[in-house]
Amino acid sequence: MKKISALLAITLSIAVLITLSAISASAADKTVKIGNIIPLSGPSASVGQQGKNAREMAVEEINAAGGIASLGGAKLQMVYADSESKPEKGVGEAERLINTEKVSILTGCWNSAVTYPTTAVAERYGIPFVVPVSVADKITEQGFKNVFRIAAKDSWWTRDQFAFMKDMQAEFNTKIVKIAFVYENGDWGQGFAKQWKKLAAEAGYEIVLDEPYPSTSTDLSPIVQKIRRSKADVLMMVSNAIDAILLTNTINEYKVSLKAIITSGGGHADPSFLKAAGKNAQYLFDIVEWETDVNKAGAKEANEKFKAKYGSNLTGEAVDAYVAMYVIKDALERAGSIESDKIRAALASTNLTSGPGMIVGYDAVAFDKTGQNKHASLVMVQVNDIGKGLERITVWPKNARRAGYTPVFPKP
């Protein structure tokens, strides 16, 4: 009898232990921590804030709709870390988020120079890292298994910029001969310039200026002088917000005559750019992943909701961040676990084609073996005033062009 009761006691206590641990496990499963390393202060704070707002909106929607069903309705919990656009800060924050905050997934970091070393930290710990948008090609070319990029990489941006130039010359029967490149001297700008030079040589354009500049410059008129003296037909730029504003204003002050200015998103896509540059930004062509007039189900509603909440339109960066949350949600649903390798495997087999998050210009999110979203594509917009103030109007690809709009080319 004594034996049996002792056995019973042991069995019971084991049972209690198992139940207890099961309870604590399910309690831990109630939230999934997502670490976000984005620039919330410093030179890119404006873009960082957009990304944060978009993430918040998506996560609110996902949580309000019942969270992750396969994890018992677990809610997504956001943890933010400020990179200040500094690589060393990004790396440090990644370590902290993984070791101290115990996040299951990381996202970030917008600045390619920050994302590049930071993804290496995630890879080392085997934590899946979703990159909504950081365009440097090399981010998905490190042979990493845990890096997934939603947006198009920069070689695709330049590919589309040159395709656009070719199409415009044909459509408007205007020849472009001389082109000038002006770009910020970070990873992002250098990455673009390298591609531009290759594409320009292939297409037979004459490069009259190839000018990197430090984006911390306080005076950009020397650069503008060089553009003016180069007598270029088309100016192609890569800039952060403050230098984009400064360059655009200065180009107008010095009355530089160009057939077109083609920019590369980033600073030129920042909502504060149009406010600060105003009329000087008219007729500029910008390449972006997304525009508010894009013809996709739910896009208009999402934009209106965002605008009502945060006072500005969704930007390409914001949409990528927004979609990223739905991609993560989709992967978590399929993984049914917060174990890193299961989430990783689920992300790798993503094929998201519909649902509330899919407001991007292309039709699907699916990653190739490098972790790059192979369906990502871009659109070109023109800044113009067609009676409702300056706005960004989708002009290319031609079948995505806003109905009734004819692009202004060459620039009057």
Partner 1 sequence: MLFILEDAINGILMGSIYGLTAMGLTIIFGVLKVINFAHGSLLMIGMYVAYWTVALTGIHPYLSLFIVIPAMYLFGYYLQDIVIKPIFKAEKDVREPITVIIVTTGVWYILDNMTLLFFGPQYRSIDDNPLKGKMMELGEIMISVPKLWGFVTATITAFAIYYFLQYTRMGRAIRATSLDRDAASLSGINQYKIYNIAFGMGTAVAGIAAVTLVPFYNTFPSVGVLFDIKGFIIVVLGGLGSIHGAIIGGMIIGLIESVGPQFMAATWTEAIVYGLFLLVLFVKPSGLFGVKYDW
How far apart CA 179 and CA 258 sit, in angstroms, is 10
Among 252, 313, 377, 384, binds partner 1 (CB under 8 A): 252
- Residue closer to partner 1 by CB (options 198, 275) is 275
Radius of gyration over every alpha carbon of the chain, rounded to an integer in angstroms: 24
Q: Supply the minimum distance, in Å, between the C-beta of residue 153 and partner 1.
A: 24
* CA separation for the pair 232, 176 (Å, rounded): 9
Q: Across-strand partners of 74? A: 68
The distance from CA 108 to its chain's CA centroid, rounded to whole angstroms, is 9
Residue type at position 361: G
- Identify residues 29-58 at the interface with partner 1 (CB under 8 A): 41-43, 45-46, 48-49
Question: Which among 316, 295, 298, 367 has a CA at the least distance from the CA of 145?
Answer: 367
Nearest distance in Å: CB 49, partner 1: 6
Q: Which residue, 32 or 136, is less far from partner 1 as judged by CB?
A: 136
Looking at the Cβ atoms of 80 and 213, the one nearer to partner 1 is 213
Of residues 225, 351, 353, 354, which one binds partner 1 by CB under 8 A? Answer: 225
H-assigned helices in 100-153? 112-125
Identify the CA nearest to 328 among candidates 151, 159, 106, 123. 106
Interacting span for partner 1 (CB under 8 A) from 12-20, 167-175, 268-276, 356-364: 268-276
CB of 33 to partner 1, least distance (A): 25
The least CB distance from residue 196 to partner 1, in Å, is 15
Dist. CA 279–CA 112, nearest whole Å: 30
Q: Cα(282)–Cα(284) distance, rounded to whole angstroms?
A: 6
**d(C-alpha 229, C-alpha 238), whole Å:** 20
> Does residue 278 touch partner 1 according to CB under 8 A?
yes
Helix axis angle for 221-230 and 241-253, nearest 10°, is 50
Minimum separation from the CB atom of position 39 to partner 1 (A): 9
How big is the chain, counted in residues? 412
Give DSSP secondary structure letters for 148-209. Answer: EE-SPPHHHHHHHHHHHHHHHHHHHT----EEEEEEESSHHHHHHHHHHHHHHHHHT-EEEE
Q: Judged by CB, which is closer to partner 1: 245, or 327?
A: 245
Q: Which is nearer to partner 1, 155 or 217 (CB)?
A: 217
Q: Can residue 157 be called a binding residue for partner 1 (CB under 8 A)?
A: no
Q: How far is the CB of 221 from partner 1 (least distance, A)?
A: 5
Q: Does residue 223 interact with partner 1 by CB under 8 A?
A: yes
Q: Kindly state the smallest distance separating residue 313's Cβ from partner 1, in Å.
A: 14
Q: Figure out which of the listed residues 226, 305, 402, 411 binds partner 1, where binding follows CB under 8 A.
A: 226
Q: In angstroms, what is the minimal distance from the CB of 239 to partner 1?
A: 12
What's the CA gap between 205 and 207, in Å, rounded?
Answer: 6
User: What mask of x and - would describe binding to partner 1 in positions 183 to 212, judged by CB under 8 A?
Assistant: --x-------------------------xx
Site for partner 1 in 230-249 (CB under 8 A): 241-242, 245-246, 249
Q: Which CB, 152 or 242, lies closer to partner 1?
A: 242
From the centroid of its chain, how far is CA 206?
31
Q: Is residue 267 a contact partner of residue 244, using CB atoms and an 8 Å limit? A: yes
HSE value, Cβ hemisphere, 13 Å, CA-based, for 251: 26
Stretch that binds partner 1, among 115-123, 272-280, 323-331, 382-390 (CB under 8 A): 272-280
Question: By C-beta, is 35 or 271 nearer to partner 1?
Answer: 271
Residue 234 CA to its chain's centroid (Å): 26
Q: Name the minimum Å distance from CB 346 to partner 1.
A: 35
| Binding region for partner 1 (CB under 8 A) | 41-43, 45-46, 48-49, 185, 211-214, 216-219, 221-223, 225-226, 229, 241-242, 245-246, 249, 252-255, 272-273, 275-276, 278, 280
